[in-house]
Amino acid sequence: MSEELQFSLAPMAGYTDLPFRRICRRFGLHYAYTALIDAGALTYGNRENPLILARGEEEPWLAVQLLGSIPEDIRVSGGLLQAMDFDAIDFNMGCPVRKVMQRQAGAALMRNPENALTCLKILRDSTDKPLTVKTRILSETDPEPTLRFCQALAGIGIDGLTIHGRLAGKVYSGPVAHAVIKAVREALKIPVCANGGIFSRADALQLAAETGCQHLMVARGAIGNPWIFRELQSRDCTVPSHQEICQVMHEHLQQMRDFYGEERAMIIGRKIVQSYLVGRGYRRSLRHQAVHIATWQDFLEFHRLVAQEGNGIF
């Protein structure tokens, strides 16, 4: 079973930009998504759009994830995305972030199935690209509400479905409801991808075994750990060395600098730097110094301190 598994990188706002995906692809990632792009931002031309939608020439498969709840914005943005170089369009019905929920988008669409289906049908009619949906569960113990919702989505004519096995209100906490995902997978004829709780190959194998899904999505487990795709694809569970951590962290920030420009990249890159160091034996006081990075020289000095730190913990 594990030989047939396919892994994708989840769309994560603030993380899955082009530099992040390039780093992950170095270690075996094939299927990836852009960060969420708002249908209204697409419709009215937000200046951030080119950065979110950027696709590297070397990227083998990339889907765009669309967020929205206003039918007319969905129609316009669907037409715009139809003309762009993406392998699929994924519609978000699972984002639990408060500001998204307040706009009745993301996971809030699960509370308003009529509008969810209206938006999805408009999007289906706007594109002939493969169309998928990313959603969450509606009950941790009873598969029936989630199953009914997903069957309605499938009835629109989508080509695949990803289910994060947690309630929107739980965000990322608590166990993943394997039984609910399994029930949906067994009932639908389209591919179902399981999402939630993958931080290692063992986690992935358990999720696959308990849901029966051959498609698995990795989210937070890849932040600061692009090596997870090497582990998942090749069974190579080798822990990255201190030297490799320093090298990849430097490469990641360099790519961000090239992509965003120095000032913005260093601000965004603070959390990226910290993610490479957390849980790997580096002092908290050292990790905290990343919040002061404002220039490339600041990063190089921080990087030098990290390199020195490794001599004492590896």
pLDDT digits (tens, 9 = 90+) for 54-83: 999 999 999 999 999 999 999 999 999 999
At 1, the pLDDT band (50, 70, 90 cuts) reads very low
Q: What's the CA gap between 289 and 99, in Å, rounded?
A: 30
**pLDDT higher than 50, residue 304:** yes
Task: Find the mean pLDDT for residues 162-182.
Answer: 95
Is 95 annotated in the active site? yes
Q: Mind listing the pLDDT tens digit for each residue in 23-65?
A: 999 999 999 999 999 999 999 999 999 999 999 999 999 999 9
> For residue range 88-112, what is the model confidence (pLDDT) as tens digits?
999 999 999 999 999 999 999 999 9
Strand, coil or helix: 99 = helix
Q: Which domains does the chain have, with CATH numbers?
A: 2-234 (3.20.20.70), 242-313 (1.10.1200)
pTM score, two decimals? 0.94
Q: What is the pLDDT of residue 2?
A: 43
Q: Which long-range contacts (CB under 8 A, 24 or more apart) does 151-155 make?
A: 151/187, 151/188, 152/113, 152/117, 153/93, 153/116, 153/117, 153/120, 154/188, 154/189, 154/190
Catalytic residue among 24, 95, 193, 213: 95
